[in-house]
Structure 1
Amino acid sequence: MASIKRSATAQWQGTGKEGKGALTTQSGTLKETPYSFTARFGDGQGTNPEELIAAAHAGCFTMALAFKLQGAGLTPERLSTEARLTMEQEGGGWSIKAIALALKAKVPGVSAEQFQQLAEDAKATCPVSRVLNADITLDAALE
């Protein structure tokens, strides 16, 4: 069984509300990119985990659809996806409740029915769509 491993790190100093953090990805695309309470729950500078999940989902789904179209002998001229993540506060915390994918596409030669079927298949099978069914492990250590 083949596997691919990717990594990212998060650093944080201070309390949840007044503290600040930085995110770095293995690829270097994010390098000590700031994140904070205000970036997450307001309009502060920096990124936040939910925005990154939405970006990952949009990218994963769009690429998965490109592969589905290719497998059907079709080449898209353009696929553009926006992922709108909804997070709601309930009880003692926040939960991601939904991600709405909005796709606009230009694909010569595809019928509306075939396009819908391929898009639904891509939504159901892209790895980010399935991420919450993943085996999540934790290795927690105090220094």
Structure 2
Amino acid sequence: MPIGSSTWKGTWKQGKGTISTERGILVRVPYTYASRFENAAGASPEELLAAAHAGCFNQAMANNFGMIGLEAASIETSIEVDLQFVESRPTIRSVHIETQATVPGITKEQFDSCAERSRTNCSISKLLTCDITLDARLIP
């Protein structure tokens, strides 16, 4: 079971903390209010969520292609997390997925179906309660 951890010292806006993973992929990576909300150096939990979602989505795509007997030559995905303050609280309003893939032998209809299934069924998509939009392009 994956484990992540965080430390924090100080106030919300002036404090600082670290984010780590049990397997050591992230080891005490610093983060602050400024790194999260003001694009300063350091980690952002939402940016880490976006990276995790992109990885999860790509594996879902590969699995969906495999279920119809096909294999991707490449899948490239980026995730944009729309983080806004709503009633003075940070809120993830939506997530937008942009993906492109090269899959020999796939039709546009098959590709679109695989992309949509990945959008709705990858484990991180299933966890999120916000709107998740998708722009999927098949690269010949």
TM-score of the two chains, using structure 1 as the length reference? 0.87
Alignment partner for residue 106 of structure 1, among 102, 106, 125? 102
Alpha-carbon distance in structure 2 between the residues aligned to 1:88 and 1:132? 16
Quote how far apart the aligned CAs of 1:26 are: 1.2
The residue correspondences of 1:45-56 to structure 2 (distance < 5 A) are 45-56=41-52
Q: CA separation in 1, counterparts of 2:95 and 2:58?
A: 14
Quick check: 1:73 aligned with 2:69? yes
State the TM-score, normalized to the length of structure 2.
0.89
Aligned identity (percent) is 35
Which residue is equivalent to 2:92?
A: 96
Gapped runs of 5+ residues in structure 1? 134-143
Q: Give the deviation of 1:125 after TM superposition.
A: 0.8
Determine which structure has the larger strand proportion and give its number: 2
Q: Which gives a bigger RCO, structure 1 or 2 (Cα 8 Å, sep 6+)?
A: 2
Q: What stretches of structure 1 move > 2 A for 4+ residues in a row?
A: none
How many residue pairs were aligned? Answer: 129
Matched with 2:11 is 15
The answer as to 2:34 corresponding to 1:38 is yes
CA distance in 1, matches of 2:95, 2:88: 21
Q: Quick check: which has more Rg, 1 or 2?
A: 1
The runs of 5 or more residues in structure 2 that have no matched partner are: 130-140
Q: 1:109 offset after TM fit, Å?
A: 0.4
Give 1:83's match in structure 2, choosing from 60, 79, 85.
79
